[in-house]
Structure 1
């Protein structure tokens, strides 16, 4: 069964909320305590032993090690191991000058993570185990959660409790198994991701569709200008960053839902997306444009397509090598960057003329499925259907209560 992550709001009484925050504070103390001992070990011996056996030995010395569920403590321990593994990988490549992973802020509330055990979800009621050795004697807490009502799941696989600094609320994230809808389609599609054109999709019948990313660009540019006049990390600065994130996510949800719905209507069973791993390291367009592209939410977009596709019975592959697909002529195979004359237009000397992102999507399709979705060899491609989205609210001040439904127009 496909897995998706549900975000839910926690509704707890003040006493329960205080216990949860204390347990999350304990998780921070455990994380920082393990790092401190590993740094000390490195200073004394010149080596760092991140084996579970050594970390378990250190855990026994930490005063907060009994502040929350034992299996969750082990997950915190594994977070430290992964932090050091990532650090060693960056160090080996010469991508960091630091000597060790950084500590979390002293007032930080780290997530409480539960996998398979230590929790129970019954309808909208969640019960968490906090172990049997807390100083206040609390062994478990129970509270109510609320999440989007249109998701029906079979089983909860993982659960984490996190604190949102912007809203000041405690949230729950549930990794659940959902039952996918039956899909008897046999069609295929390929998607080229971009910035101005968020997604260019080529279908197996030669049809193409473009999802505009212009509004996302405008929203990000707008809020960045607002934050330029605010003190960094101030309350107002964080509020604007939070609103930008929510608006961008809303548009991403609208675009991905529209694309998946279109694929279902066309009987698509599989979608291929170019592999964007390492794209940030390969981007070199100057500081200003690099910063803009580095912050573009490619991974979030792909994850949305994956879980929405899984719910619709569509396999989404993102392991396709898309190297040179944007500068390769789909008709003759000539690779020439200058063929992209200006934004949105690809022209080759062989006579091929197409929208540039469509050309990339067609190349991804042919690379994956070893066949071109464009019928014939006339050098023409179907005129793409362009889909754009808009928000019902936008601005610095809090919006008035109104319908926030996204509208799509083709």
Structure 2
């Protein structure tokens, strides 16, 4: 069994606004108490302790959704600790919105293809028209530029398509996305189109940010420009994600054609933290989809 994630645009919804605000309120409560104990008592509160004190009994939405907010916060804390406390820790206590998550037990699929996402006893569920005939094992709903979108993960059957026992080594790069080599052959996966999209994304972001900075914060024109910026950047993010999926599929197909069943890839974790090539090259490395 493998897992596949599908995104589906929902649009605007007052019900989802309420749930998103409740999720943000819980995040703010967890964050406030966590850092209050750190600052006053030098005590790093565990996830289990926070679960008992702040999360259990939260009746605005389903219990597992409340637990997921706690998981989000501690994932961010653990990531900060693993990076030797570099960068800014998750101390934002004034979130207005936060994504809502549902685990398998809170998800039901009706016969008419509608997902029923539980919001706890006494609360109306969220109903989503679902175009896939498989029930998700996990779902989350968050804001995506111009409306909400659901990101749901479901199980799919896997098929072994390997026809040989070749081994391929792959070197990932920023200019050429992958250089693959077997015992008898080698080839490159060009990343020119991806680099062009990244460059256009950076130019668009900088252009709109300059316009925003010249407007009074909170004005109608400022809000309109912020919405435009978010919408355009979200559109470009989707194009980049789609291109990455297509390129990775192309790479897999090329390996299967050569009878490859095993792939060896170098470990690149932390590579962005160990080099400094100047602002332009650092930006390219930061956006490197390794």
Interval of TM-score (by shorter of Structure 1 and Structure 2): 0.7 to 0.9
Q: Residue deviations 1:198-226, cap 9 Å, x none?
A: 1112134x222211111221222233223
Gaps of 5+ in 2: 213-225
1:196–1:87: structure 2 CA closer, same or farther, 3 Å change rule?
Answer: closer
Q: Which of 273, 292, 315 is 2:284 aligned to?
A: 292
1:272–1:248: structure 2 CA closer, same or farther, 3 Å change rule?
Answer: same
Shift of residue 102, structure 1, vs aligned partner: 2.1
Shift of residue 51, structure 1, vs aligned partner: 4.1
**DSSP 3-state at the match of 2:209:** coil
Gaps of 5+ in 1: 299-410
1:225–1:145: structure 2 CA closer, same or farther, 3 Å change rule?
Answer: same
Aligned partners of 1:19, 1:127: CA distance in 2, in Å? 14
Aligned partners of 2:72, 2:60: CA distance in 1, in Å? 17
Aligned partners of 1:184, 1:292: CA distance in 2, in Å? 34
**DSSP 3-state at the match of 1:230:** helix
Whether 1:190 and 2:169 are equivalent positions in the alignment is yes
Whether 1:95 and 2:80 are equivalent positions in the alignment is no
> Residue 10 of structure 1 contacts residue 144 of structure 1 at CA under 8 Å; is this kept in 2?
no
Matched ranges for 1:6-405 at <5 A: 6-10=6-10, 17-59=13-55, 65-90=58-83, 93=84, 95-96=86-87, 101-103=90-92, 105-108=94-97, 110-122=98-110, 124-132=113-121, 137-146=122-131, 156-164=136-144, 166-168=145-147, 170-185=148-163, 186-204=165-183, 206-231=184-209, 234-298=226-290
Question: Taking CA–CA contacts closer than 8 Å with sequence separation of 6 or more, which of the two structures ends up with the larger relative contact order?
Answer: 2
Aligned partners of 1:172, 1:229: CA distance in 2, in Å? 30
Shift of residue 106, structure 1, vs aligned partner: 3.5
Aligned partners of 2:185, 2:81: CA distance in 1, in Å? 47
Shift of residue 295, structure 1, vs aligned partner: 1.4
> Residue 34 of structure 1 contacts residue 55 of structure 1 at CA under 8 Å; is this kept in 2?
no
> Residue 9 of structure 1 contacts residue 146 of structure 1 at CA under 8 Å; is this kept in 2?
no
1:87–1:227: structure 2 CA closer, same or farther, 3 Å change rule?
Answer: closer
TM-score, with structure 1 as normaliser: 0.61
**DSSP 3-state at the match of 1:180:** coil
CA RMSD of aligned residues (A): 2.6
> Residue 10 of structure 1 contacts residue 145 of structure 1 at CA under 8 Å; is this kept in 2?
no
Aligned partners of 2:189, 2:80: CA distance in 1, in Å? 37
1:3 match: 3
2:220 match: none
**DSSP 3-state at the match of 2:154:** strand
Aligned partners of 1:226, 1:276: CA distance in 2, in Å? 29
1:222–1:71: structure 2 CA closer, same or farther, 3 Å change rule?
Answer: closer
Aligned partners of 2:93, 2:288: CA distance in 1, in Å? 26
> Residue 162 of structure 1 contacts residue 171 of structure 1 at CA under 8 Å; is this kept in 2?
yes
Shift of residue 105, structure 1, vs aligned partner: 4.8
Which structure would you say has the larger Rg? 1
Shift of residue 273, structure 1, vs aligned partner: 1.7
Aligned partners of 1:83, 1:129: CA distance in 2, in Å? 26
TM-score, with structure 2 as normaliser: 0.83
> Residue 30 of structure 2 contacts residue 50 of structure 2 at CA under 8 Å; is this kept in 1?
no
The number of equivalent residue pairs is 274
Aligned partners of 1:203, 1:126: CA distance in 2, in Å? 45
Q: Residue deviations 1:298-320, cap 9 Å, x none?
A: 2xxxxxxxxxxxxxxxxxxxxxx
